A = this chain, B = another copy of it.
Amino acid sequence: MNSDYDLKPLFEPRTVAVIGATDVPRKIGNAVISNLIFGGFKGEVFPVNPSMEKVHGKQTYPKITDVPKEVDLAVIVVPAKYVPQVFRDCAEKKVKACIIITAGFSEVDEQGKQMQEEIAKIAEENKIATVGPNCMGHINNSLSLNTLMATSFPPGGNISMVSQSGTVGLVLMGEMARMGGGISKFISSGNEAVLRLEDFLEYFAYDTDTKVVAAFVEGVRNAEKFLRVTKELTKRKPFIVIKAGRTSAGANAAHSHTASIAGATQIFNAVAKQNNIITCEGTEDLIDYTVAFSMGVLPQGRRVGIITPGGGWGVLAADACEEFGLEVPKLSQSIIDKISERAPPYWSHGNPIDLAATRNVDTLAWSGDVLFENNAVDSLIIQFFAGDLSVMVKNWRDRGNLSEEYLNMMEQIYRQIMEKIAIDSGKLVEKYKRPVFGITRDTEFTQMLVSRGVPAYADPRKVAKSLIKMLEYKEHRDKEK
């Protein structure tokens, strides 16, 4: 660790005070304290508010200095003009870390900029690990710690993320979790008056709960540190980043947003490539790549086996693999003979393995086992139900002519098959430690797959892009060893 600030009290506080806590509905101070109290935080929580005696039934203190215990972390949500004084109180109380959620600083005007500089000075003098201002809070799932100003609490996992936009971060985090990539730690870095992107990345690099790091970046303030930190980080774990403000229109918008120095996109890209940082074109890439990496199994090579009950998806998957630089190898005669033992007579006799609408769905994962066992491929795409069953059933319900009994029966049959395929696919990952991907738009099928270590995407292009990013990361890392 090389940070000027100790981030442990920020991410692992035993005590948290919320300055500006309230239980008035729709107030930010209510959202933050509710997340702490009702989110099940494993430490102690102290509401601070001079005009309330109790907040959500909890004794409330007029000032932070009135709190009868040591405070590891203070979260500030009072209006901007009160923040400097409240922050001085925090210094007096010897608070170790502070998150200033309040907006209205350097992003708005000269006066705000001066207030922010004052805060930075106090933080530095007192070594308070300070986040924000103008941020949305943070999460550490292992402690059920949640200081967000929004009612969002994704399930736990091994992904940690820093976001220079709170709202973008929230959406990414929610969607990653939905796609099977749970969250270890999240931080919205706001105006970065004190602690910056680079500091959080450094913390995540050495955090043992964090296996994958993601970031939404508008601008890097300390390029030298960013370089140093990311070099160490990517040796230890994959770091997936979306750099916004790439274009002149985007850079202008970024400047207005967090007063950050965007630009220098070429430099960023060069650094990314050199430091084995995985870059994304948009939010979809970030979600797909991060989820794929979080499953923890990297491909050992470019060869992909494609298994499908219906031809069209095989063609799309083969196109996607070749277009992104993967291989769809031909199968040896002995493997073809082996698969013919169980596949229907008119199967494709090649890769993609098109099982010609077989009714024996066990053949899908079984064929994958044959490929892995004979080391014919490095990863698998198993496609079974690419659509969304619940939407299909809903469409029929809306028409109202098909019996509930029939619809329920149909849904149940499909769900059973999906579960079987998910279980078998998960077993392949476990047995061979090679990646297996699913193609589906079905929410439940996605859950069945991802909970068994099988990422599931709507389109094979997403699989191919993720696989090639994983391979590039691995090859770069192995070269450096």
Query: Which of A87-95, A281-289, A360-368, A430-438 sits within the interface?
Result: A281-289
A193–B334 CA distance with the chains assembled, in angstroms: 34
**A395:B103 contact, CB within 8 angstroms:** no
A398–B441 CA distance with the chains assembled, in angstroms: 22
**B396:A256 contact, CB within 8 angstroms:** no
A275 within 8 A of B: no
A392–B413 CA distance with the chains assembled, in angstroms: 29
**Minimum C-beta distance from A393 to chain B (A):** 8
A258 within 8 A of B: yes
**B319:A250 contact, CB within 8 angstroms:** yes
A301 within 8 A of B: no
Interface residue from B34, B165, B354 paired with A315 (Cβ < 8 Å): B165
A314–B244 CA distance with the chains assembled, in angstroms: 10
**A155:B346 contact, CB within 8 angstroms:** no
A84 within 8 A of B: no
Interface residue from B34, B252, B258 paired with A318 (Cβ < 8 Å): B252
A175–B174 CA distance with the chains assembled, in angstroms: 22
A320 within 8 A of B: yes
**B282:A459 contact, CB within 8 angstroms:** yes
Interface residue from B216, B311, B406, B409 paired with A257 (Cβ < 8 Å): B311
Which B residues are CB-close (under 8 A) to A318? Answer: 247, 249-250, 252-253
Interface residue from B104, B250, B345, B350 paired with A252 (Cβ < 8 Å): B350
A151–B38 CA distance with the chains assembled, in angstroms: 44
A170 within 8 A of B: yes
A316 within 8 A of B: yes
**Minimum C-beta distance from A114 to chain B (A):** 16
Given contacts A257-B312, A395-B153, A459-B282, A323 and B175 within 8 Å (CB-CB)? no
Oligomeric state, in copies: 2
Which B residues are CB-close (under 8 A) to A254? Answer: 311, 315
Which B residues are CB-close (under 8 A) to A216? Answer: 312
A154–B348 CA distance with the chains assembled, in angstroms: 30
Interfacial residues of chain A within 294-347, with CB under 8 A of chain B in the complex: 306, 309-316, 318-323, 327-328, 345-346
A50 within 8 A of B: no
Given contacts A392-B151, A395-B155, A459 and B314 within 8 Å (CB-CB)? no
**Minimum C-beta distance from A270 to chain B (A):** 18
A46–B319 CA distance with the chains assembled, in angstroms: 42
Given contacts A174-B395, A175-B388, A315 and B253 within 8 Å (CB-CB)? yes
Given contacts A103-B356, A350-B256, A386-B171, A245 and B396 within 8 Å (CB-CB)? no
Which B residues are CB-close (under 8 A) to A62? Answer: none
A261 within 8 A of B: no
A223 within 8 A of B: no
**B396:A151 contact, CB within 8 angstroms:** yes
A282–B320 CA distance with the chains assembled, in angstroms: 8
A-B contact pairs, 11 of them (CB 8 A): A34-B406, A168-B310, A169-B312, A170-B387, A244-B312, A249-B321, A250-B318, A253-B311, A256-B311, A257-B311, A282-B461
Which residue numbers of A lie inside 8 Å of B, CB to CB? Answer: 25-26, 34, 38-40, 103-104, 107-109, 151-155, 163-171, 174-175, 177-178, 216, 218, 244-250, 252-254, 256-258, 262, 281-284, 306, 309-316, 318-323, 327-328, 345-346, 348-350, 352, 354, 356-357, 386-388, 391-392, 395-396, 398-399, 401-403, 406-407, 409-410, 413, 441, 458-461
Contacts beyond the supplied A164-B312, A168-B386, A218-B315: 4 A-B pairs with Cβ under 8 Å: A40-B399, A152-B387, A175-B391, A256-B311
